[in-house]
Amino acid sequence: MNEEIIQKKQTGRLPVAAIVGRPNVGKSTLFNRLIGVRKAIVGDRPGVTVDRLESEFMLGDRHVILVDTGGIGEGTHDIMQPAIDIQVDAALEIADIVIFTVDAQSGATGVDAVIADKLRRQGMPLLLVVNKAERENSATDFYGLGLGEPLPVSAIHGQGMPELLDALAELLPEMPDDQALEEEEKPLANIAVIGRPNVGKSTLINAWLGRDRMVVSEIAGTTRDAIDSMLPFQDGFVRLVDTAGQRKHGRISDVIEFVARVKAVQAFRMADVAVMLLDGAEGIVEQDMRLMQLAQDEGCALIVAVNKLDLLSEQEWKYFAERLNFRMRGMTDIPVYRVTAKQGKGVKQLLHEAVKASVRNHFTIGTGELNRWLGDTQEAHHAPSDDGSMVRMKYASQTGTNPPSFKIFCNRPGKLKPTYKRYLEQAFRKTFDLSGVPIRFSFVGGTNPYADKGNK
């Protein structure tokens, strides 16, 4: 396939709407109202939302990631300006739409004006939402911000929410044409490259591509966006995503991780497999483990690549490998590979292994073979229950792939212990050689709905 044509092939991602505004204007209440769940902590004092939250919700027939951010700015203009810049920039970093929330009861403030000026100069899709607007005409004070028509709502009472949802839906980026996507050749694999700043993600992708597609720098956070590249591979192509989003500011590590997480979630939703790149010279930290767990929670197959091995002696590598195995002991059987991306060592094999992991994540099995496995696995180790009674799996069927997902009918699903569920997952992964692949089992009661149809 012509590489210029391949480069034009892009796959859509979940749009992101970020809620920003001063403290105590009701951002978290609005977040909870939109997603329909009390997920964000709501309080009547500034600073309640410290950690940023994100949640997926349905807007009509579209999936949208909604982000709740901390309050912007307190005190005088000079003192609050760094906080305003950090928070607004973090929202703009990942958002397709900004929901600028203000407080009808306090009216337009100087902080609101500063935030509005910054958002207006960015020129991105924006909704000005006036919360706590239970009284008529309480939004008129906000026309002076110059951000268009204010939308009066009451997040706590639900007033104005249909109008807000309609306005939000109108600003969503257009979806790719389904028919056009079907006509396009699909990639052999969608590969997300993940890792902390400056571990060599862009260097690895450049090594795969054979050219400097990504800007590479010793400064952490050079890559600000998730960038797609299409790489010819065998008789087709693979799609590579460099998931970064880090920023070059040592005092905002919380924003760095927040932005990186949202971008990673977007990438994982599009990917079949995630390559977790670790820095062999720095070791493994808790942030690495959280990112790996997030990849598997989002249904990606996972493989680990340890980079910069030219900086390690054999003894140092042995210590690193032992520590890595210890940290990953609670996860699935994840393959580990050694590379030196800067010198191109091991990168070709790593690409082949990533494509294989993608294939594993699309694993399918016939119903008959699946149920024979289920019977043999139960026979080898019966399911214990809390009260000593028998829990018996009656029948299983596959419900999806990427990741492989299955529904198991049993007599007492609520009595199955988590340890037995893990046993089934591990046994399935080992039997069918699905290393690094998350397996999803759901357990339901009732009789076999396929009993009269026979196993195929």
pLDDT, residue 155, reads: 92
Could you please state the CATH topology (level 3) that the domain comprising 186-361 is classified under: Rossmann fold (3.40.50)
- How far apart are the C-alpha atoms of 229 and 274, rounded to whole Å? 15
**Domains 10-171 and 367-444 equal at CATH topology level:** no
Share of the chain above pLDDT 90, in %: 32
72 is in an annotated binding site: yes
Say which residue, 177 or 2, is predicted with more confidence. Answer: 177
Residue 125 has pLDDT above 70, yes or no: yes
Q: How far apart are CA 370 and CA 53, in angstroms?
A: 39
Report pLDDT for 282.
Answer: 79
- Write down the domain spans for the chain: 10-171, 186-361, 367-444
Lowest-pLDDT choice from 64-73, 195-204, 303-312, 335-344: 64-73
246 is in an annotated binding site: yes
Phi-psi category of residue 101: left, alpha or beta, with phi > 0 → left and psi -120 to 50 → alpha: beta
Q: What is the DSSP secondary structure assignment for residue 142, as one 8-state letter?
A: G
Is the pLDDT at 271 greater than 70, yes or no? Answer: yes
The answer to whether the annotation marks 44 as part of a ligand binding site is no
Residue 27 pLDDT > 50, yes or no? yes
Is 349 annotated as belonging to a binding site?
no
Q: Is 308 assigned to a binding site?
A: yes
Residue 94 clears pLDDT 80, i.e. is over it: no
Is 198 a known ligand-binding residue?
yes
The larger pLDDT score, comparing residue 278 to residue 225, is at 278
Q: Is 236 within any annotated ligand binding site?
A: no
Q: How confident is the model at residue 85 (pLDDT cuts 50, 70, 90)?
A: low
Q: What is the CATH number of domain 367-444?
A: 3.30.300.20
Confidence of residue 1 (pLDDT cuts 50, 70, 90): very low
Average pLDDT for the chain? 78
Where are any strands of DSSP class E within 219-299?
227-233, 236-242, 273-279
Work out the average pLDDT over 369-375: 95
Q: What was the pLDDT predicted at 225? A: 41
Residue 369: predicted pLDDT = 96
Is 313 annotated in a binding site? The answer is no
Residue 65 makes CB contacts below 8 A (sequence gap 6+) with 14, 15, 16, 17, 54, 55, 56, 262, 265, 266
Bridge partner residues of 127 (DSSP): 99
Q: Is 21 annotated as a binding residue?
A: yes
Q: Is 199 annotated as a binding residue?
A: yes
Helix (H) or strand (E) holding 393: strand 393-400
pLDDT at 142 over 90: yes
Q: How confident is the model at residue 39 (pLDDT cuts 50, 70, 90)?
A: very low
Angstrom CA distances, 88 to 85, 93, 226, 382, 438, stand at 5, 8, 19, 55, 36
10-171 maps to which CATH number?
3.40.50.300
In the predicted structure, residue 207 carries a pLDDT above the cut 60: yes
Does 133 appear as a known binding residue? Answer: yes
**Single-letter residue type at 155:** A
The per-residue pLDDT for 186 is 81
Is residue 190 a known part of a binding site? no
On whether 70 is known to bind a ligand per the annotation, the reply is yes
pLDDT at 236 over 90: no
64 is in an annotated binding site: no
Selected residue with higher pLDDT from 221 and 288: 288
Can you give the pLDDT at residue 396? 94
pLDDT, tens digit (0-9, with 9 covering 90-100), for 102-116: 999 999 998 899 889
242 φ, ψ to 5°? -95, 110
**Strand-strand pairing, 97-103 and 301-307:** unpaired
Residue with the larger pLDDT of the pair 189 and 391: 189
Q: How far is CA 202 from CA 147, 278, 280, in A?
A: 38, 13, 16
| The predicted structure's pLDDT at residue 95 | 82
Per-residue confidence band for 133, with pLDDT thresholds at 50, 70 and 90 = very high
pLDDT in tens, 426-451: 999 999 999 999 999 999 986 555 54
Q: Are strands 227-233 and 236-242 parallel, antiparallel or unpaired?
A: antiparallel
Return the pLDDT at 448: 52
Average pLDDT over residues 286-304: 88
What's the mean pLDDT in 200-218? 67
CB atoms within 10 A of CB 328: 20
